[in-house]
């Protein structure tokens, strides 16, 4: 049955609208209302990358949002699922999620759930996967060196490196995301680790929220991941830097702590359909996603 276009809540009604039809400052006000750091520019980046709905009340106020980001014909990530504080226990988020489901039938879905939203996603049959550690702070370059040094040359990435980055990201993430990686390259500074002419690890960094966010970071080992992250920390030493990672131990996690980016918060990666392990590359030396592009994008 097709989801309804409107929802009666308490003493007022909400209607659905395309997220493209709403002014950025109204979306920004929505994320501010729940304490999320997204700037208007971050919302615009997401609108250019994915699709979404907003929930509006009778006088056009934005009271909720939900977005999805398709990669291929059968996989999507879901993010920016927000409802204003007054609606969080009244079914608005579930209504928005069912609208999203209607647009991605048959897709394997992945999202990162806040503590407050986990019960909602469990009720929609999402399964818990891995914790994401939101590491952030005023960055500084650690004085300690890596236990195992990366082998290869570090250099700045340019547009000619996009195909190799797309392939490496697909191996680490489990799904090919060419449009997203191209878009991230256009908004980011990137460093890559090269073995000859072959790209073996990379990290992208772009403006976001209170400062900059590094992600994705894709590498075959902790040492390689640290090698491509370190120059971003040096570039932004003394300013706010954020990394969202599944890694809670090992050299990469230790580097974040030594770089003055301790764990600030956690979210939980959840899946509907194929699980993370179904997408994982096999082998100890296979590329891994050490840092997400963002909690919204995965």
pLDDT digits (tens, 9 = 90+) for 192-204: 999 999 999 999 9
Q: Give, as one character, the DSSP assignment of residue 223.
A: H
What's the CATH code of the domain at 167? Answer: 3.40.630.90
The region, left, alpha or beta by phi > 0 then psi within -120 to 50, assigned to residue 115 is alpha
CA distances in angstroms from 86 to 10, 110, 261, listed in the order given: 10, 26, 33
Say whether both 26 and 95 belong to one domain.
Answer: yes
Q: What are the start-end ranges of the E strands in the chain?
A: 6-9, 12-18, 51-56, 62-70, 75-83, 108-113, 127-138, 153-156, 189-195, 198-208, 211-219, 240-245, 263-272, 288-291
> What is the pTM for the complete model shown?
0.92
Domain range holding 203? Answer: 133-291
Say whether both 137 and 284 belong to one domain.
Answer: yes
Q: Rg of the Cα trace of the chain?
A: 19
Q: Specify if 111 maps to a domain.
A: no
Q: Specify if 120 maps to a domain.
A: no
* Bridging pattern class, strands 75-83 and 108-113: parallel
DSSP collapsed to 3 states, 44-59? HHHHHHCEEEEEECCC
Note the pLDDT of residue 12. 59
On the question of pLDDT at 227 being above 70, the answer is yes
Assign 280 a pLDDT band (cuts: 50, 70, 90). confident
Q: How much is the average pLDDT of 65-76?
A: 96
Say whether both 163 and 65 belong to one domain.
Answer: no
Q: Specify if 283 maps to a domain.
A: yes
Q: Specify if 83 maps to a domain.
A: yes
Domain count, the chain: 2
Backbone angles phi, psi at 49, to 5 degrees: -100, -35
pLDDT more than 90, % of the chain: 79
Note the pLDDT of residue 27. 96
How far apart are alpha carbons 219 and 225 in whole angstroms?
5
Say whether both 81 and 142 belong to one domain.
Answer: no
Q: Specify if 209 maps to a domain.
A: yes
Say whether both 18 and 140 belong to one domain.
Answer: no
What's the CATH code of the domain at 23? Answer: 3.40.630.30
For 101-156, what is each residue's pLDDT tens digit? 999 999 999 999 999 899 999 999 999 999 999 999 999 999 876 656 778 899 99
Which residue, 89, 82, 12, is CA-closest to 52?
Answer: 82
Q: Tell which wins on pLDDT, 2 or 232.
A: 232
């Amino acid at each position: 049955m097709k989801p309804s276009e409107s929802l009666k809540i308490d003493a007022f009604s909400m209607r659905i609208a395309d997220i493209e039809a709403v002014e950025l400052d109204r979306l920004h006000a929505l994320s501010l209302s729940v304490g999320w750091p997204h700037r208007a520019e971050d919302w615009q980046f997401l609108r250019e990358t994915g699709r979404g709905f907003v929930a509006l009340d009778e006088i056009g106020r934005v009271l909720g949002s939900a977005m999805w980001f398709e990669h291929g014909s059968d996989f999507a990530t879901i993010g920016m699922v927000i409802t204003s504080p007054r609606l969080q226990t009244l079914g608005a988020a579930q209504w928005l999620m069912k609208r999203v489901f209607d647009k991605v039938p048959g897709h394997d879905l992945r999202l990162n759930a806040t503590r407050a939203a986990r019960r909602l996603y469990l009720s929609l049959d999402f399964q818990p996967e891995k914790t994401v550690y939101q590491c952030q702070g005023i960055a500084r370059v650690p004085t300690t060196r890596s236990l195992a040094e990366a082998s290869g040359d570090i250099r700045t990435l340019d547009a000619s490196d996009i195909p190799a980055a797309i392939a490496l990201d697909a191996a680490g993430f489990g799904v090919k995301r060419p449009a997203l990686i191209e878009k991230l390259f256009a908004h980011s500074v990137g460093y890559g680790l090269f073995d000859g002419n072959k790209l073996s690890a990379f990290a992208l960094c772009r403006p976001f929220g209170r400062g900059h966010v590094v992600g994705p970071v894709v590498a075959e080992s902790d040492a390689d991941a640290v090698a491509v992250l370190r120059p971003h920390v040096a570039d932004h030493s003394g300013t706010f830097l954020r990394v969202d990672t599944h890694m809670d131990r090992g050299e990469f996690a230790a580097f974040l702590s030594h770089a003055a980016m301790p764990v600030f918060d956690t979210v939980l990666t959840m899946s509907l359909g194929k699980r993370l392990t179904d997408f994982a590359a096999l082998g100890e030396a296979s590329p891994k996603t050490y840092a997400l592009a963002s909690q919204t994008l995965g």
